[in-house]
Amino acid sequence: MDVLHAYLDSLFAPWPRTAQVLNLKREMLDTMEDKYEELKQDGKSEHEAIGIVISEFGSIDELMHELGILPAAETGEEISISEQQALQYEQIVRRSSRLQAIGWLSILFGVAATMVVAALNEHGAFGSWSGGQAYLLALIALFVFVVPAIGLFIASGSGKERYKMLEGDFELSPGAKSKTEQHMEAFRPVHSRGIVIAACLGTLSPVALLIAGIRGEGQLPYGAAIMLALLGGAIALFAYVGGIQGGFQRLLQLGEYTREKKEENRVINRIAAVVWPIAFVVFFVSGFVYQRWDVNWAIFPITAVLFAAIGGVYSMRRKSKGRA
Amino acid sequence: MISSDVIRGYNDTMILYMLLGGESYGYEISKNIRRLSEEKYVMKETTLYSAFTRLEKNGYIASFHKDGESGKRRTYYRITEEGLAYYREKCSEWQVTQEVVNKFIKET
């Protein structure tokens, strides 16, 4: 009798302990015990009786499939991502990367336009305009670019909240995994081309400043504006291809999205949420209040370098702590 | 013994037939199926219970608890009106199935 009990226990172990399943298990045990008793009465040995009962049990997987019950592991903490969910997430990531790229382009163009307007004003291009009017124009130029950019950033986040579970631990279904791997492979050439072009734009951008500097100090703001526009192109490209690549990596839990890295990135993202807005505030205050448009753009490369350094130090410390 | 693949579509019909004569419980039904088939068909436990669940969900049978002759508390099943109608439907379906398949069967 205990053998039958233990046999059913082991068979039911992987399945969720819902009322329906427990009920089913109890009823099946009853039936098996009835059968066992009768076989014994028919003169079968205990050993034989148990053998027959077990051989006539059937397939528990088939039964659970019929009842539409999933193994406990699949309904528990480990979330499973289906093929359809993975494809949908990919679509959302592509769309949001595109919106973010346009957003970055718009912001950098806006800042560049503001600098051009300010510089033109400095050089008396607006003739009889008062300083206030010229600054109003600069502000308008900024808002025309920056406000839609903010809208784009907000829009880029929509749809993603349904995939919050990807930030935690999850499991990709086999179909979803192979599909995502295929798509990532197909995206590889686009990704590397994008990164190369973006890197070229980024590296070339200071040349504009250099040329402007050679042509005279008065030209510097124009050079800086061109540099920012080029940087805008570079950042937009990085955001686009990097965002899509990041989506694939997140699904496949590669690179920045392995389980250990996820925790690290959560901390670094919190730092970024503070550092970058401060950089923008410094930029605008030094520009509009102190009118140092000629040098204040340097805040962005400086922040970028500092931020990279902070992130680097943090992950190094984490790694050494992990080893200790 | 008959392969379960062949008979799969008629497990529900067999159980309903067993309940035509009155209420019964898991082991009794399975034992009677074996006896009626002259030991040629043994319904597996999991087949029996997935059929019970399916039939009850469709409203063809109803379950209730009752103390059996041995004093053991058991889940009993009885056939419903819908179950009876479904059983008749399956019977006429089998008539046709049998006629059709028979046309392709010959003693060789």
Place of tokens 């937009």: A236
Report the pLDDT averaged over residues A145-173: 80
Measured in whole angstroms, how far is the alpha carbon of residue A262 from the centre of its chain? 10
Do the Cβ atoms of A31 and B27 come within 8 Å?
A: yes
Q: What's the pLDDT tens digit per position in A206-240?
A: 888 888 888 887 788 888 889 889 988 998 998 89
- A246 and A268 in a common domain: no
Residue at A107: amino acid letter: I
The answer on pLDDT for A324 being more than 50 is: no
- The mean of the pLDDT values for chain A is 82
Instruction: Note whether A272 and A303 are within 8 A (CB).
Output: no
- A133 and A119 in a common domain: yes
- The pLDDT confidence band at residue A316, using thresholds 50, 70 and 90, is confident
Q: Name the burial class of residue A308, with classes exposed (0-12), middle (13-18) and buried (19+) by CB atoms within 10 angstroms of its CB.
A: exposed
Q: Which of A30, A57, A66 sits opposite B44 (nearest CB)?
A: A57
- A190 and A86 in a common domain: yes
Measured in whole angstroms, how far is the alpha carbon of residue A119 from the centre of its chain? 39
Instruction: Note whether B15 and B29 are within 8 A (CB).
Output: yes
Q: What's the pLDDT tens digit per position in A182-193?
A: 889 999 999 999
Report the pLDDT averaged over residues A256-283: 77
User: Which residues lie below 8 Å from residue A144, measured CB to CB, with a gap of 6+?
Assistant: A110, A113
Q: If you count them, how many residues does chain B have?
A: 108
Can you tell me the distance from the alpha carbon of A142 to that of A63, in angstroms, rounded to the nearest whole number?
65
Do the Cβ atoms of B27 and A27 come within 8 Å?
A: no
Best of B8, B35, B45, B48 to disrupt the A interface by mutation (most A CBs within 10 Å)? B45
More confident site: A239 or A133: A239
Share of chain A above pLDDT 70, in %: 92
Between A and B, how many residue pairs show a Cβ–Cβ distance under 8 A? 52
Choose the final residue of a domain: A236, A252, A268.
A252
Helices and strands of chain B, counted as H and E runs: 5, 3
Instruction: Note whether A247 and A90 are within 8 A (CB).
Output: yes
- A243 and A98 in a common domain: yes
Q: What's the pLDDT tens digit per position in A13-27?
A: 778 878 888 888 989
How crowded is residue B71: how many other Cβ atoms within 10 Å of its Cβ? 6
Q: What domains does chain B contain, in order, with CATH numbers?
A: 4-102 (1.10.10.10)
Q: How far apart are the first and last CA of chain A?
A: 52
* ipTM computed for the complex: 0.87
- A278 and A240 in a common domain: no
Do the Cβ atoms of B53 and A24 come within 8 Å?
A: yes
Write out the residue range of the structural domain in which residue A320 sits. 258-324
Choose the final residue of a domain: A219, A252, A285.
A252
pLDDT score, position B80: 95
With beta carbons under 8 A apart, name residues in chain B contacting A24: 49, 53
- A275 and A202 in a common domain: no
Radius of gyration of chain A (CA): 32
Do the Cβ atoms of B46 and A30 come within 8 Å?
A: no
Residue at A212: amino acid letter: A
- A199 and A121 in a common domain: yes
pLDDT score, position A63: 87
Can you tell me the distance from the alpha carbon of A126 to that of A114, in angstroms, rounded to the nearest whole number?
14
Chain A contacts to B (CB-CB under 8 A)? 24, 27-28, 30-32, 34-35, 38, 56-60, 62-63, 66-67
Do the Cβ atoms of B49 and A24 come within 8 Å?
A: yes
Measured in whole angstroms, how far is the alpha carbon of residue B27 from the centre of its chain? 12
Q: What's the pLDDT tens digit per position in A27-55?
A: 999 899 999 999 999 999 999 999 999 88
pLDDT score, position A128: 67
Q: Which of B44, B50, B72 sits opposite A67 (nearest CB)?
A: B50
What Å distances lie between residue A27 and A7, A53, A71, B65, B77, CA to CA? Answer: 14, 14, 20, 11, 12
Can you tell me the distance from the alpha carbon of A191 to that of A238, in angstroms, rounded to the nearest whole number?
9
Choose the final residue of a domain: A215, A231, A252.
A252
With beta carbons under 8 A apart, name residues in chain B contacting A30: 26-27, 72, 74-75
- A211 and A91 in a common domain: yes
- A264 and A229 in a common domain: no
Long-range contacts of A257-264, Cβ-Cβ distance < 8 Å, separation of 24 or more: A259/A169, A260/A322, A262/A167, A262/A168, A264/A314, A264/A315, A264/A318
The rounded average pLDDT for each run of 10 residues, N- to C-terminus, in chain B (108 residues) is: 77 94 92 92 92 93 84 88 95 94 87
- A237 and A156 in a common domain: yes
Phi, psi dihedrals of residue A51, rounded to the nearest 5°: -60, -45
Q: How far is A50 from chain B (nearest CA, A)?
A: 14
Instruction: Note whether B4 and B44 are within 8 A (CB).
Output: yes
With beta carbons under 8 A apart, name residues in chain B contacting A27: 26, 49, 75
pLDDT score, position A74: 55
Domain count across chain A: 3
- A197 and A132 in a common domain: yes
The answer on pLDDT for A314 being more than 60 is: yes
Q: Which 3 state secondary structure label does DSSP give A43?
A: coil
- A89 and A138 in a common domain: yes
Q: Which of A35, A38, A63 sits opposite B46 (nearest CB)?
A: A63
